[in-house]
Structure 1
Amino acid sequence: MTVLGVDACPSGWITGVSDDTELYVAQYDDVETLWAEHDDAERVLIDVPIGLPETGRRACDEAARELLGDRRSCVFYVPPRRVLDAGSYEAANERHRELTGHGLSIQTYNIIPVIEEVGTFLDEHEAARERVIECHPELCFAAFAGGDPVPDSKHTETGRKTRRELLREELPGSEQAYEDAMERFYRKDVGRDDVLDALALTAAAREESLLSVPEGRDHRIERGTIAYPEPR
């Protein structure tokens, strides 16, 4: 069984690939190229919002933030669909405030291109829709830690060390895959935290079944749902 964990990175998409024989990390310029190489994958977990609201905020983002407690800021609120084509941050921020009652963070504005790329891809590839599932790496790490969010940021040495330790327990071969990626990719193209996030999603993708937020939603067929592993 082949499963993927996919995260956006400065050079495109960083992907953990796990099958019956090996685990490795690969980089792709776009989702179309990634899918062309792995369209036989049984499950693809991706850290990109799938399914945008018309107004207000997504219930799955609210629920994910609640699960993460003090680490809630790791989950960005997804902008309504009509914000995507605003054309500038200033226009997007104004439209976002009209539709949600809140301002738009610059971090969220900067991920609009990857949201659009994945949305267009899924609209055009019916076969991918039940296999490409939204996930969040911090929910995965929290599950691997017994349900408690990792307190230290993934951008710190302590935070990376903790996440690597959790991955060693959950994903055999992850340490070597991480080290190989660090040697093969420039940091300007692929960050350390990008690789850790992709591997966390890969570990979750290997699970027999996944939970969802909001509770009771089916992440395989319903957009606006975030999947995550059962806490250990």
Structure 2
Amino acid sequence: MPIDFFGLFFLGLGPGIAFFIVLIARKSFLVLLALFSAFLWLVVLLFISAIFRAFVPLSSTIGPYTGMLAASVFIEEAVRFGTWWLHRVTLNTLDNMARASGHRFGLLDKLYMAVAWGYGHGACHAVFFFLSLLPLTTGDGTLYVGTCPQMSVFLVGALYSLAFGMILTSLTVIAFDGYMSRSYLVVAAVALLHWGAAFLTLLNFQQDGCLVAMPVLVALGLLLTGYTVALCWKKGKVAR
């Protein structure tokens, strides 16, 4: 039904779209960077899917999915380090261009770029895992799984999209700050948080596990977003 479609659309994607309009869309370079990041992560997700295609269908037990998630997060964290390298190369290029034109490329601009990298990662996950399922909500019925009769598959997907949009965007900003300051503890914490968030989705295999997993993931996303805002505010004050 249309009301289901639009309700789930605005729940899962609305905050991300609003964030894009308010922050990213203000600068064309950030828009291009976010689009490039989303395309890069789409390639990564397709690559991961191709790797595990040979093992499909997976057993309906939790073990194979645990291994798949562990390997997927490892690959994504490796790619995140690669995006940091691209980010650093881009910063050096922009710094040189700014100096040549007599302008200054400040710390706040660098933080905006880190946000754009992270936004592309979160947006790609939303499209890959949620938006592709959304057209199915226009039918006459909905879909539930036996272990989670309280929430439809589409509602779980919307909450997943909302939570991981915040989590992945925030973790990229935090990781880039850790790389820049050479704080390996921060980098390790980012990887562990990413694994932890991914493994929380395995609670959906347990009876009524979605009632725990989805609120905790959304709360984690809000907590990381708050930390990231505080981090950017602190860095921005230093930059001034």
TM over 0.5: no
Structure (1/2) with the larger strand percentage: 1
- Give the structure-1-normalised TM-score: 0.26
Structure (1/2) with the larger helix percentage: 2
- Give the structure-2-normalised TM-score: 0.25
